[in-house]
Amino acid sequence: MSPRLISEFKPNLLQSSEHDLCPGCGHGIAWRAVLDVVAELGLKPILLAGHGCYTQLMINSDLDSLQCLHGRAPAAATGIKRMLPQTPVITLQGDGDMVSEGLHEVLHAASRGEKITSLLFNNGVFGDTGGHMTATTVVGQRTKTSLDGRDPDEHGHPIDIGRLLAQIDGAAYVARGAVNSPAMVARTKHMVRRALELQVQGAGFTFVEVLTMCPTGWFVSTPEGPGYLKEAMMENFGIGELKAPAES
Ligand SMILES: Cc1ncc(C[n+]2csc(CCOP(=O)(O)OP(=O)(O)O)c2C)c(N)n1
Ligand code: SF4
Ligand SMILES: [Mg+2]
């Protein structure tokens, strides 16, 4: 029997199912999880995004949004949130955008306790521009600029942005999820929900990192992507809430 489409499975806030992401890319799964939570909470957030493969998802979403220079989304979000304190504000950045090119912006926004929710889609490469190493590329990971694997002696050590942010007083919530399995997606949705709820309550800076697959940048086949994420990234960074107020 030939396969047939039984439903589009498209979140209402996504305007089209069409996209140019590679087969097996994790960004679409991660963004769908975010949009589902936004819709479930009935929020109308403003979205500030950086530059990366995920940008096309932002353009395709039924949200007021603005694309920012690399790394600057938390700074732009600061201005918008201070002008519109009742409006939920979300930033969306990649690891190259946030951790390599604009690290200070997210650290300062967290230190100031800006009442925004910053999302990081971390695939360990500058996916959009060809798959070079970023500040989060794990030791041993092959990228276009570390063909023999990241070597700490030559390339330095990866930055664990979640652990860094969790130490900052203005950060109210810091968590790391992933999209390599349905169970991980469900856990990640819970994290995004908590971050947004805490933002609405005015708790302070909230942050969710989502580990996402980039089979193209990792030199692995599409089906190998989720396994590679688990072995290479999850083993190094770990998954869970790194900082959270007690659940009421
Ligand atoms: C100041 C500046 N430097 C470089 C670029 C080119 N650039 C566009 S997207 C991108 C890669 C971003 O990587 P990441 O944030 O990890 O997102 P991904 O594509 O992996 O999702 C780069 C380097 C740019 N647009 N602006
Ligand atoms: S290069 Fe990587 S991040 Fe970009 S669309 Fe392809 S799989 Fe996704
Ligand atoms: Mg990336």
CA of 52, nearest ligand number: 1
Mean pLDDT in the chain? 96
Asked if the model's pLDDT at residue 248 lies above 70, the reply is no
Q: How much is the pLDDT for 93?
A: 98
Over the stretch 82-119, which tens digit does the pLDDT of each residue have?
Answer: 999 999 999 999 999 999 999 999 999 999 999 999 99
Asked if the model's pLDDT at residue 6 lies above 90, the reply is no
Q: Give the 3-state secondary structure of the chain.
A: CCCCCCCCCCCCCECCCCCCCCCCCCHHHHHHHHHHHHHHHCCCCEEEECCCCCHHHHHCECCEEEECCCCCHHHHHHHHHHHCCCCCEEEEEEHHHHHHHCHHHHHHHHHCCCCCEEEEEECCEECCCCCEECCCCCCCCCECCECCCCCHHHHCCCCCHHHHHHCCCCEEEEEEEECCCHHHHHHHHHHHHHHHHHHHCCCCEEEEEEECCCHHHHCCCHHHHHHHHHHHHHHHHCCEEEECCCCC
Mutate to test the pocket of ligand 1, among 22, 57, 70 (most ligand atoms within 8 A of CB): 70
Nearest CA to ligand 2 atom 6: 22
For CA atoms 60, 61, 65, 67, the dihedral sign is negative
Query: Which residue ranges make up each domain of the chain?
Result: 42-111+121-175+198-208+225-248
Q: How much is the pLDDT for 4?
A: 86
More confident position, 5 or 178? 178
42-111+121-175+198-208+225-248: what fold? Rossmann fold (3.40.50)
Does ligand 2 come within 6 angstroms of the Cβ of 208?
Answer: no
Local confidence band at 174 (pLDDT 50, 70, 90 cut-offs): very high
Rounded distance from Cα 22 to ligand 2 centre (Å): 5
41 to each of 108, 135, 208, how far by Cα in Å?
28, 33, 17
Asked if the model's pLDDT at residue 23 lies above 70, the reply is yes
Over the stretch 42-89, which tens digit does the pLDDT of each residue have?
Answer: 999 999 999 999 999 998 999 999 999 999 999 999 999 999 999 999
Local confidence band at 18 (pLDDT 50, 70, 90 cut-offs): confident
Does ligand 2 come within 6 angstroms of the Cβ of 138?
Answer: no
Rounded distance from Cα 200 to ligand 3 centre (Å): 28
Does ligand 2 come within 6 angstroms of the Cβ of 217?
Answer: yes
Mean pLDDT, range 159-187, rounded to an integer: 98
Q: How much is the pLDDT for 17?
A: 85
